[in-house]
Amino acid sequence: MPADATTVSYDSRGGKAVLLASVLGSGMAFLDSTAVNVALPALGRELHTGLSGLQWAVDGYLLTLSALVLTGGALGDVRGQRRVFLFGVFAFTVCSVLCGLAPSTWTLALFRAAQGLGAALLVPASLAMLRTSFPEQDRQRAVSAWAGLSGVTTALGPLLGGWLVDVASWRLVFFINVPMALITAWTTLRHVPDDTPSGTPRKLDVAGSVTAALGLGGVIYALIEGPAHGWRASTVLAAVGGVVMLGVFLGIQARGRHPMLPLGLFASRTFSGANLTTLAVYFALGGVSFLVILALQQELGYSALSAGASLLPLTVLMLVLSPPVGRLAGYTGARPLMTVGPLLAGAGMALLTRMHRGGGYVGSVLPGVLVLGVGLSLTVGPLTSVVLGAVEERHAGIASGVNNAVARIAGLLAVALLPLLGGLAGKTGEAFLAGTRTALWISAGLCVVGALCSWLMLPRDVGRLTRGGAAKDTPPPPHPPRATSRLGLHLRRRHD
């Protein structure tokens, strides 16, 4: 399919500029989230907070991002991906500056939540822009490049964050977004095609957004505050209220006229399988990003820069391997790579349990980082391509939003749950390291679950290129398959 007036060739100068804008925009959010992890010990010392305060510094951001990224994806479909992307860049940058000026833990958590609102707009739009800006034969290459380069910005976060903390202050971790935002906005305005849709825009699911935020907020509040301060009546009430709100959210999605999470998308076995893999792998990765960096600095004596640099081999592997993995997926299909990749990632997490006092970096940390890097390189690009290819083009924004929501909810739950499961509340020294090892074993097991989801649920040839250069994607059927459950029958009646 040749490029038309609203698309650009991947190999053209304009195509590279579109990719640059998309990677820089999403990279702001990805880099920021990982750089903050390295800054947590210094942040905790300056703001006088413990583990629960550090959890809120991370989960305040992930909470609003997780709850609203679906609305962000839908808004891009309604208003145009380019316009929503630019507004998200602006909002994210303003809130980043406010985070850098925060005088206390709770004001930081509040500004981080506001920052998550901006990320909920720019992250899904950054990926969906590739779908609307490139012709079909170029999309898999563009998405694979986006996934690899975005993974690199994610992995560079700890290194950059550690350097900024050591040479100046943790506050610079937030201020660094300003120059990136200026470059992103200029490139987008100059090179990304306008994709404003014509016709009457559909309504947004405000009730769904509110109930999702309240539900996730109540559950996460209980998981963080319960272990830290005891299971008081207010904490239990928050947990129960959160679960009730999540139930209300699902009811709204099943019966609403304009749901932000169209449950009919999950009638596609491919779409469901890819998102289950995302949930398992990104839960595990969220736990590693949070706990390993804390353990390296607080218990093993690493500086912020050294802790960030310890993950640099992962960055290099993703940079080097992502392009050939994208080409390999065209020949083998995504299923083998999305099975082997999570297994290797889990093996890397298992190897990281060898961290101990007195153990050198090369012997106790590096092997796990290398194996984890290879596993993620095999997983991320094919996974993203499968998610986008499993839906019709007009649903690209919401599909991107669903997958991003799943990934962010996985990280949100990991930061709240793994310290609880590892028994880390109030622990220091060898007890903290032992709890971190328990959390890493749990994460490794979840990667195995992700591999099984890919192998059992994805079609054998999904993502494999045809002779014409197009990927063998598996869009959902015109009608969801017949179901005997009440919810399935209700979805079918609404679709028909």
Question: Tens digit of pLDDT for each residue in 32-69?
Answer: 777 888 888 898 889 988 888 888 888 888 888 887 87
C-alpha–C-alpha distance, residues 402 and 405, integer Å: 5
Mean pLDDT value across the chain = 82
Q: Give the CA angle between residues 440, 110, 99 to the nearest 5°.
A: 85
Report yes or no: 464 and 472 within 8 Å, Cβ to Cβ.
Answer: yes
Confidence of residue 492 (pLDDT cuts 50, 70, 90): very low
Q: What is the DSSP letter of 425?
A: T
Nearest one of 237, 254, 372 to 314, comparing CA atoms: 372
Provide the pLDDT for residue 240: 94
Is the pLDDT score of 260 beyond 80? no
pTM (2 decimals)? 0.76
Provide the pLDDT for residue 323: 79
> Which of the residue ranges 165-179, 220-234, 406-420 has the most confident prediction, judged by mean pLDDT?
165-179
Report yes or no: 260 and 68 within 8 Å, Cβ to Cβ.
Answer: no
Confidence of residue 463 (pLDDT cuts 50, 70, 90): low
Both tokens of residue 87?
């507004």
Residue with tokens 């990136």: 180
CB atoms within 10 A of CB 103: 8
Helix axes 136-167, 366-389, angle to 10 degrees: 140
Residue with tokens 């316009």: 83
Provide the pLDDT for residue 27: 84
Confidence of residue 479 (pLDDT cuts 50, 70, 90): very low
Is the pLDDT score of 485 beyond 70? no
CB atoms within 10 A of CB 172: 17
Residues 368-397, mean pLDDT to the nearest whole number: 83
C-alpha–C-alpha distance, residues 58 and 71, integer Å: 21
Provide the pLDDT for residue 396: 65
Confidence of residue 478 (pLDDT cuts 50, 70, 90): very low
Domain at 13-189+260-495: CATH code: 1.20.1250.20
Is the pLDDT score of 447 beyond 60? yes
> Between the CA of residue 241 and those of 114, 221, 418, what are the distances in Å?
23, 11, 22
Q: How confident is the model over 159-192, as pLDDT tens digits? A: 888 899 999 899 999 999 999 999 999 999 888 8
Amino acid at 270: T
Q: Could you give phi then psi for residue 368, rounded to 5 degrees? A: -65, -40
Provide the pLDDT for residue 183: 93
Express as a percent the part of the chain with pLDDT over 90. Answer: 27
Is the pLDDT score of 153 beyond 60? yes
C-alpha–C-alpha distance, residues 69 and 123, integer Å: 8
Q: What ranges in 353-485 are assigned the alpha helix state H?
A: 361-364, 366-389, 396-421, 429-457
Listed by start position, the domains of the chain span: 13-189+260-495, 205-259
Q: Give the CA angle between residues 362, 364, 365 to the nearest 5°.
A: 75
Q: What is the 3-state secondary structure (H, E, C) of 259-292?
A: CCCCHHHHHCHHHHHHHHHHHHHHHHHHHHHHHH
C-alpha–C-alpha distance, residues 185 and 425, integer Å: 42
For residues 14 and 82, which has the higher predicted lDDT (pLDDT)?
Answer: 82
Please tell me the least confidently modeled range out of 114-123, 162-171, 225-234, 365-374: 225-234
Confidence of residue 352 (pLDDT cuts 50, 70, 90): very high
Q: Could you give phi then psi for residue 57, rounded to 5 degrees? A: -60, -30
Largest CA distance in the chain: 65
Is the pLDDT score of 494 beyond 70? no
